[in-house]
Amino acid sequence: MIKRSYTLVLRGILQDPQGRFLLMQRSAQSKGWPGKWEFPGGKVDRGEELTQALIREWKEETGLAIVPLACLDVFAWEHGHDRILYFIFRVRAKNLDVKKSFEHDAWGWFTAAQIKKLDVAPALKQVIKTLCV
């Protein structure tokens, strides 16, 4: 059986001055994981540099201009035919004036305790456990 190649996906972790994390809720019409909460980010386009892709995705999804600070984690995740290589970055935003995109139904700032109670995208449960110890 030939396995498909990995799709590269980036997620950014942003905290506000109170230490809360920004998460977005996927649209109810989303093909993948509708209604689930996730950290903003998305796929890397062919030939695109990782941090530039993260900056682009954050602008599209949140309206925020960000600066990637450090890669916190890299992990592979497989579900059915999907093979994803996740890159998790800590980011800083130039301002916190969030404007959600059509890809999401809601957004919010959450404490670690609140995140534990959210219905998060399955692939990111590992990241949530690390952040919310």
pLDDT of residue 1: 57
Segment 44-79, tens digit of pLDDT: 999 999 999 999 999 999 999 999 999 999 999 988
Query: Rounded to an integer, what distance in angstroms lies between the CA atom of residue 86 and that of residue 84?
Result: 6
Domain 7-131, CATH class in plain words: alpha beta
Segment 9-43, tens digit of pLDDT: 999 999 999 999 999 999 999 888 899 999 999 99
Choose between 131 and 18: higher pLDDT. 18
Confidence tier at 129 by pLDDT (50, 70, 90)? confident
Query: By the 8 A CB rule, do 116 and 62 touch?
Result: no
pLDDT of residue 4: 80
pLDDT of residue 110: 96
Tokens 């925020």 correspond to 64
Query: Rounded to an integer, what distance in angstroms lies between the CA atom of residue 112 and that of residue 13?
Result: 12
pTM for the full predicted model: 0.91
Tokens 């449960």 correspond to 125
Query: By the 8 A CB rule, do 69 and 32 touch?
Result: no
Domain boundaries, the chain: 7-131
Segment 101-128, tens digit of pLDDT: 999 999 999 998 999 899 998 888 878 8
